Amino acid sequence: MDIDGYLSAHARIRVLLNRLMEALEAAAGVTTLEVYLADIHREMIEHFDHEEAHGFPAARSHGWAGGSVVHEFDYHHHLIRRLMEDARASLHTAPERVLPLAEELRRRVHEHFETEETALFPIIEVARR
């Protein structure tokens, strides 16, 4: 995936997150929220899988050997996965937790995308040359 592919995935996921937040604010039913959370989960996992399989190796082959950036990405992936799972589980067990979890999820996803754009994209751009 080139940078345009990453940006396209970012845009799709941001739209889904915004729709989820709008649905929560409108007190949408559980089924609607389940659909949005499932869509976000699917898109994020696909994005993470691609990033881990293609983005990281390309970056490593051009000098990104590890260190704090790798740990930061691993932490983001773990935390976002957990937030998605917790939000989905809370729909049926603790619906009052869904809004705060969704807000945290949106914040963490935006942070992750910002980190990609500042730390990973420049390396991918160099690798393409």
Looking up residue 89, the CATH number of its domain turns out to be 1.20.120
pLDDT at 74: 81
pLDDT at 52: 81
pTM of the model: 0.84
The number of domains in the chain is 1
pLDDT at 65: 58
The domain containing residue 55 runs over which residues? 3-128
Render 55-117 in DSSP notation, one character per residue.
Answer: IHHHHHTTT---SHHHHHHHHHHHHHHHHHHHHHHHHHH-GGGHHHHHHHHHHHHHHHHHHII
Cβ atoms 43, 13 nearer than 8 A: yes
Consecutive 10-residue averages of pLDDT for the chain (129 residues): 82 93 88 91 91 75 63 86 94 90 94 87 73
pLDDT at 73: 80
Q: Which residues contact 116 (CB under 8 A, 6 or more apart)?
A: 6, 10, 51
